[in-house]
Amino acid sequence: GSLQLWVDILTPAQAALYEPVNIEPPPPQKFEIRVVIWRSEGVTDRDMNTMNDLFVKAWMEGTKPQTTDTHWRCSTGKGSWNYRLKFTVQMPMKPEYGRLTIQLWDKDLAKWNDLIGESQLDLYKWIHKAFHEKRTVRPFKEQNTGTKGGFLAQNEEDESSDDEDGDNEGDHGPDLENNNNEQHKPLLDTKKKKLHSKLKKKITNVLKKVKRRKQTLTPDERQRRKAEKESNDKDEAFQSILVSPLCLEDDSDWLEMRYTNREAGISESMLGPELCGKLACFVCCAGCLSFMALFGASIMSTLTFYQQLQNQKDKL
CB neighbourhood size of 60 (10 A): 23
Angle at 278 between CA 268 and CA 56, to 5 degrees: 65
Gap between the Cα atoms of 187 and 159, Å rounded: 27
CB neighbourhood size of 137 (10 A): 17
- For residue 218, what pLDDT is reported? 82
Burial class (CB in 10 A: 0-12, 13-18, 19+), 144: exposed
- For residue 80, what pLDDT is reported? 86
Q: What percent of the chain has pLDDT over 90?
A: 9
Quote the crossing angle between the two packed helices 150-165 and 173-183, to the nearest 10°.
170
2 pLDDT more than 90: yes
Q: What is the mean pLDDT of residues 291-311?
A: 84
Level-2 CATH architecture, domain 29-146: Sandwich (2.60)
Segment among 1-5, 39-43, 80-84 with least mean pLDDT: 39-43
- The closest of 53, 83, 43 to 66, measured between CA atoms, is 83
Q: Which of 119-123, 237-241, 306-310 has maximum average pLDDT?
A: 119-123
Segment among 76-90, 167-181, 203-217, 270-284 with least mean pLDDT: 167-181
Angle at 194 between CA 188 and CA 200, to 5 degrees: 140
For residue 247, the 8-state DSSP code is: G
Q: What is the mean pLDDT of residues 91-95?
A: 87
Determine the 3-state secondary structure of 261 from DSSP: coil
- For residue 6, what pLDDT is reported? 85
- For residue 174, what pLDDT is reported? 43
Q: Any idea where the domains of the chain sit in the sequence?
A: 29-146, 271-307
- For residue 87, what pLDDT is reported? 92
Rounded to two decimals, what is the model's pTM?
A: 0.44
CA dihedral (37, 40, 44, 46) positive or negative? positive
Q: Which residues lie across from 271 on neighbouring strands?
A: none
66 pLDDT more than 90: yes
Segment among 56-60, 103-107, 167-171 with least mean pLDDT: 167-171
121 pLDDT more than 50: yes
114 pLDDT more than 90: no
Q: Which of 207-216, 283-292, 295-304 has maximum average pLDDT?
A: 283-292
Q: What is the mean pLDDT of residues 227-232?
A: 84
Q: Name the more confident of 49 and 226.
A: 226
Gap between the Cα atoms of 17 and 11, Å rounded: 10
Q: What one-character-per-residue DSSP string does 77-128 give?
A: S--EEEEEEEEEEEES--GGGGEEEEEEEE--SSSPPEEEEEEEEE-HHHHH
Gap between the Cα atoms of 69 and 83, Å rounded: 8
Gap between the Cα atoms of 149 and 157, Å rounded: 10
54 pLDDT more than 70: yes
Segment among 128-132, 285-289, 311-315 with least mean pLDDT: 311-315
CB neighbourhood size of 70 (10 A): 20
